[in-house]
Amino acid sequence: MTTEPILLTSAQMASFVARGFLRFDAAVPADINAQFMAEAGQAPEPVEGGKFAAVYGATLAQAHIPEVPAGTPLADAYPPGSAIARMLDLPRVKGALKSLLGDAPVFDHHFLHVTFPPRFHEAAAHENVSQHTHQDSTIDPREQAFDVQVMYYPHEVTRPMGGTRFVPGTHLRKVSEVALGRYQNIAGQQHMVCEAGTLLFLHHGVWHGGGVNLSDDTRYMFKIRMHASGRQTRQWDLSDLPQRNAQRPIFFLKGAPERGTVETILTTPEPWFEQDTSRLEYVNRIKLWRYLAEDPTYDADYWLTRLEHA
């Protein structure tokens, strides 16, 4: 079995640039998932009249997951042989992180997200609601550089269990954390209903929130945020990247544009896009692609060239 990193393709990178996420279903083997669940431990059953925060605190306290200082090299964050260390060492995970962040990513923070079923809330007279949609972790004025959040789903997540809700394509908007909490539902939102061992790689800017758990089972999700320590650009498998993109006919077309090209991916709208700002989304995606490809004159469908020529 290969242990070499499986780097992302140009189409996968373009999809991450355009939509802000990559999803790998059942990417983590069952034995690692089982080990993680054993290390995370079981939430104590609720006590009538008990405090909800105390149950959550006890759940985190008994988990065999280390506290890790921000700024630790990711390679040093987890004990060798632990479930998370093994997950991070999977060829697909190593390759995705190398492609998105370059060598030697740095640990920012992690968290064991536990979403309790209704009986926990009822016992504590605590309202069982979903988390407001937000962007981690504060308003982030960086132009192009980005952090990555890996969300690990160690067990199957059904729709009644809620799942992480996220809105593809929102990552390039500059907003202030939960200031956008007013938006209850957004066309195209996705819910992470998935098999055990599924991984979601998110650009830090993607709008998301935890879904309400209406099942009988406690839901676990483990999130790790990390950032680059050095060069973040041209780190994916460049072998399928065209040397130079040629402009293609636009608007007046006699058929659908070629599927799967970087240009098509970068100019595909999301269902929630406003009619005028969808074009600005394309502009901002193209700017991010220029950064990642180290190609300052790259364009897709003339969106930036049109604004730049004298």
Q: Which is nearer to other proteins, 77 or 172 (CB)?
A: 172
* Closest alpha carbon to 87 in 23, 14, 154: 154
Identify the residue among 30, 53, 104, 179 touching other proteins (CB under 8 A).
Answer: 179
Q: What element of type H or E holds 285?
A: helix 277-293
Stretch that binds other proteins, among 75-83, 115-123, 182-190, 293-301 (CB under 8 A): 182-190
Q: Is residue 175 a contact point for other proteins (CB under 8 A)?
A: yes
Member of 276, 308, 309, 310 binding other proteins (CB under 8 A): 276
- Residue selected from 12, 33, 218, 284 as contacting other proteins according to rule CB under 8 A: 284
Q: How far is the CB of 143 from other proteins (least distance, A)?
A: 10
45-104 residues near other proteins, rule: CB under 8 A: none
Task: Say how many CA atoms lie within 13 Å of 277 toward its Cβ.
Answer: 9
> Measuring CA to CA, which residue among 186, 97, 204, 198 is closest to residue 157?
198
Least distance between other proteins and beta carbon 16 (Å): 18
268 binds other proteins (CB under 8 A): no
Task: Provide the residue count of the chain.
Answer: 310
> Tokens for 163?
């799942």
Sequence-ordered list of residues with C-beta below 8 angstroms from that of 69, at least 6 positions apart, any chain: none
Decide: 128 and 36 in contact? Cβ < 8 Å: no
Nearer to other proteins, 9 or 131 (CB): 131
Q: Strand 190-191's sheet: what is its strand order?
A: 190-191, 164-167, 207-210
The neighbouring-strand residues paired with 219 are 115
Residue 290 binds other proteins (CB under 8 A):
no
Cβ proximity to other proteins, 86 vs 208, nearer residue: 208
Choosing from 212, 266, 292, 293, the residue that interacts with other proteins (CB under 8 A) is 212
Q: For residue 80, what are the contacts with CB-CB under 8 A and spacing of at least 6?
A: none
Crossing angle for the helix pair 91-101 and 10-19, nearest 10 degrees? 60
- Residue 174 touches other proteins, criterion: CB under 8 A: yes
Rule CB under 8 A: say whether 118 interacts with other proteins. Answer: no
Residue 85 in tokens: 């260390």
Q: Please report how close the Cβ of residue 261 comes to other proteins at its closest, in angstroms.
A: 23
Under the binding rule (CB under 8 A), the answer on residue 173 touching other proteins is yes
Site of interaction with other proteins (CB under 8 A): 129-133, 162, 165, 172-175, 179-187, 189, 191, 209, 211-212, 271-277, 280-281, 283-284
